[in-house]
Amino acid sequence: MIQGVKIKQLHSYMDERGKLLEILRSDDDLFSGFGQVYVTTIKTAVIKGWHLHKNQIDNFCCVKGSVKLVLYDPRCDKSSYKELKEFLMGEDNLILVQIPSGVYHAMQCVGESEAVVLNIPDTLYNHKEPDKYELEPNSNEITYDWGKTD
């Protein structure tokens, strides 16, 4: 596992009215703060990423559809240096993945319909000075085959 990455298994509660899914609570062990909440969508087979944040911690959960979330650790001072880790997440695998600052991440929609991913970063996004550093999905800096899934 990439150092600093945390996983929370999510549980939905259902009754005759529908479902409720708790994603992140302030009393969770992995809660690190609140900046904002946003939703992003990913069209089928599309890849969003690679990018990393130098300060921000992300908390991703796919609430509709399915995505492959891939992490790459470029932090040479960590035991997981150059390690890759992938997660299949979505309606069939309800998990929250916490990504520490300094770790590249990218997502690909692997379902038959558009995926909806919720993020709860621990800091507020600064539009004037973004804490976001990007690479192309097929960058030579990260060796990853997007057609492969373990």
The domain locations on the chain are 6-11+32-123
What is the distance between the alpha carbons of residues 71 and 99, in angstroms, rounded to a whole number? 8
Q: What is the DSSP string of 14-28?
A: EETTEEEE----TTS
Q: Which CATH superfamily is domain 6-11+32-123 in?
A: Jelly Rolls (2.60.120.10)
Q: Specify the pLDDT at position 101.
A: 98
Distance CA 30, CA 83 (A): 21
Residues 28 and 79 sit within 8 Å (Cβ to Cβ): no
Q: Quote the pTM value.
A: 0.94
The whole-number pLDDT of residue 130 equals: 95
Q: Are the C-beta atoms of 103 and 73 separated by less than 8 Å? A: yes
Q: How do the pLDDT tens digits run along the chain, 150 residues long?
A: 999 999 999 999 999 999 999 999 999 999 999 999 999 999 999 999 999 999 999 999 999 999 999 999 999 999 999 999 999 999 999 999 999 999 999 999 999 999 999 999 999 999 999 999 999 998 899 999 998 655
Q: Where are the beta strands (DSSP E) in the chain?
A: 6-9, 12-15, 18-21, 38-42, 47-52, 58-64, 66-72, 84-90, 95-99, 104-109, 115-119, 133-134
* Residue 147 confidence (pLDDT): 85
Tell me which residue of 30, 23, 33, 89 sits closest to 56, measured CA to CA: 33
